[in-house]
């Protein structure tokens, strides 16, 4: 409290009472529990907020809320704030609302009062049309609250869904997140987890052991590495709380406060007309040789800065944010360095989700294409590659933001169509001279078309090699597609950056009139 105000009131009983309650609220579950939190390498709820937001910008609400449940001796465990800190703040000068669960109070468990505080701040974020940030550290539902805690989760989920596509929603998992609690992060836009202390699962190790007799640790069941590499639930893994909170700040630097506001512009240090003298040397002439597409991306974007999303999940496709002449842009790129850049189930879902986020918040998309097709095999087919691949198709076709494509090398079959081709309303499609746009590779095509004739020739092997070369001449280039208008222009690789910037500038005011409907039926 301001010292002048304290002198003015001369420590009146009312002010002393206020100061006492403020101290009690800030103390959370007490010094011993706070020390335990620190010993685990975790910050407290308020320390996390201080680390995340601009200095002295946090305005707290509902510090004095108390739960009303008196069952199971809960009347003896009443802490001001009830285990969650809520309020508004600024991050890099931009307004946000946020809540941070306090594990020192009843393990951060969610009671009816706890949920009401979260719902209130989410409602305020929607009214103000600014991002909502959740810092999760909770043992789950407060069991003593019974159905009221479940009702609280349901109220939060409904607000998550209502806010989806209207305001950005970002979650950091900084401790446990179990049971019904996992579904709020799952339907938010970005999830950050810490490597050592965070985990998410619907049912914990004890229940798993009881039901299916499987012994497994919390980390192996739902740790950060599991969710960033295998399930794809989390988008970022951080070494500790501070790094996780910095990641949230970085995400916010690329996205608008809501779906009606422009993205945050940053004056570029890079020249829009800069050409790259090494970009064409990154991609080998031999289309069977791998390369790292991120090196290509960094040659094109402002100052070589690319912020990758879901780096460890479905690594055969790359998604992330960059800036082009100061403006945020979403990037989707096949990654020939992993599985030859083939599209499979996980890659399709990863890219589709990112595309839909960018479209919801009016972030233009650039697509770099080098794709041999979809992953073959019974495992992919039986697990629904058709259905999941259709999600990527749907996301690209549905998106109305500016969409620009660069075909660098292979663009075969259905994968060519799906990777933001002209046929799915790609606005501008560029191709490098090395592009190969065809139903399939020359070798496979020659075997299908000419295999009967090969048996009648004197030298079947030489005959097939000749026919393979014939198919390459006809189709393994960008010019047949350019002749038909499927490719707008064939460009030299070194001019990729200035060409993309010009295209995005022209498309900045793009508008699409869609048929009137409630929503489409995405193949979920």
Positions marked catalytic: 179-180, 414-415
The helix/strand count (H/E) of the chain reads as 21, 17
Tokens for 384, please give them.
Answer: 């629904």
Strands 317-324 and 307-309: antiparallel
Strands 176-178 and 428-431: unpaired
Strand segments, DSSP code E, in 75-136 are: 84-91, 94-101, 132-136
Q: How far is CA 329 from CA 13, 21, 152, 392, in A?
A: 56, 47, 37, 18
Q: Give the sign of the dihedral formed by CA 339, CA 342, CA 345, CA 351.
A: positive
Contacting residues for 66 by C-beta, under 8 A, at least 6 apart: 78, 79, 80, 82, 113
* DSSP, res 67: -
* Nearest alpha-carbon partner for 238 in 385, 48, 104: 48
**DSSP H/E element including 193:** strand 190-194
Give the whole-angstrom CA distance, residue 59 versus residue 260: 25
Which letter, b or e, does each residue of 225-255 get, where b requires 16 or more Cβ atoms within 10 Å of its Cβ?
ebbbbeebbbbbbbeebeebbebbeebbbbb
Decide: 312 and 229 in contact? Cβ < 8 Å.
Answer: yes
Give the whole-angstrom CA distance, residue 74 versus residue 67: 9
Grouping H, G, I as helix, E, B as strand and the rest as coil, residue 354 is helix
Tokens for 522, please give them.
Answer: 């995405």
Decide: 99 and 117 in contact? Cβ < 8 Å.
Answer: yes
């Amino acid at each position: 409290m301001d010292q002048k105000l304290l002198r003015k009131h001369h420590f009146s009983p009312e002010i002393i009472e206020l100061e006492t309650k403020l101290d009690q609220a800030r103390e959370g579950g007490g010094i011993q529990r706070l020390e335990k939190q620190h010993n685990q390498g975790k910050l407290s709820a308020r320390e996390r907020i201080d680390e995340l937001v601009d200095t002295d910008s946090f305005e707290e609400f509902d510090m004095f809320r108390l739960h009303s449940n008196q069952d199971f001796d809960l009347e003896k465990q009443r802490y001001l704030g009830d285990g969650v800190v809520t309020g508004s703040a600024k991050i890099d000068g931009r307004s946000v609302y946020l809540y941070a669960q306090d594990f020192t109070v009843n393990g951060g468990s969610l009671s009816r009062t706890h949920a009401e505080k979260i719902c209130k701040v989410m409602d305020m974020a929607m009214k103000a049309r600014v991002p909502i940030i959740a810092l999760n550290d909770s043992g789950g539902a407060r069991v003593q609250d019974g159905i009221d805690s479940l009702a609280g989760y349901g109220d939060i989920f409904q607000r998550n869904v209502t806010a989806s596509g209207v305001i950005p929603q970002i979650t950091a998992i900084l401790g446990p997140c179990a049971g019904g609690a996992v579904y709020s992060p799952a339907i938010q836009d970005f999830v950050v987890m810490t490597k050592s202390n965070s985990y998410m699962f619907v049912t914990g190790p004890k229940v798993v052991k009881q039901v299916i007799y499987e012994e497994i640790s919390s980390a192996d069941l739902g740790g950060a590495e599991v969710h960033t590499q295998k399930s794809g639930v989390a988008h970022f893994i951080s070494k500790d709380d501070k790094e996780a909170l910095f990641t949230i700040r970085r995400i916010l630097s690329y996205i608008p406060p809501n779906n009606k506001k422009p993205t945050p512009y940053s004056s570029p240090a890079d020249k829009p007309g800069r050409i790259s003298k090494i970009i064409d040397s990154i991609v080998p002439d031999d289309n069977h040789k791998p390369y790292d597409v991120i090196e290509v991306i960094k040659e094109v974007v402002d100052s070589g800065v690319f912020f990758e999303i879901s780096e460890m999940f479905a690594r055969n496709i790359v998604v992330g944010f960059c800036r082009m002449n100061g403006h945020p842009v979403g990037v989707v790129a096949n990654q020939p360095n992993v599985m030859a850049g083939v599209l499979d189930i996980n890659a399709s879902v990863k890219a589709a989700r990112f595309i839909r986020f960018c479209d919801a918040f009016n972030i233009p998309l650039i697509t770099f294409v080098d794709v041999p097709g979809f992953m073959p095999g019974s495992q992919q087919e039986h697990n629904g590659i058709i259905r999941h691949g259709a999600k990527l198709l749907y996301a690209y076709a549905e998106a109305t933001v500016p969409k620009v494509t660069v075909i660098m090398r292979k663009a075969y079959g259905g994968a060519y169509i799906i990777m933001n081709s002209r046929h799915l309303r790609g606005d501008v499609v560029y191709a490098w001279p090395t592009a190969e746009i065809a139903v399939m590779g020359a070798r496979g095509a020659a075997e299908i078309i000419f295999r009967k004739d090969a048996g009648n020739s004197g030298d079947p092997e030489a005959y097939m090699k000749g026919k393979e070369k014939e198919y390459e001449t006809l189709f393994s280039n960008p010019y047949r597609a350019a002749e038909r208008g499927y490719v707008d222009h064939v460009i030299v690789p070194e001019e990729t950056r200035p060409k993309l910037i010009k295209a995005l500038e022209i498309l900045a005011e793009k508008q699409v009139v869609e048929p009137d409907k409630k929503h489409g039926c995405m193949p979920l």
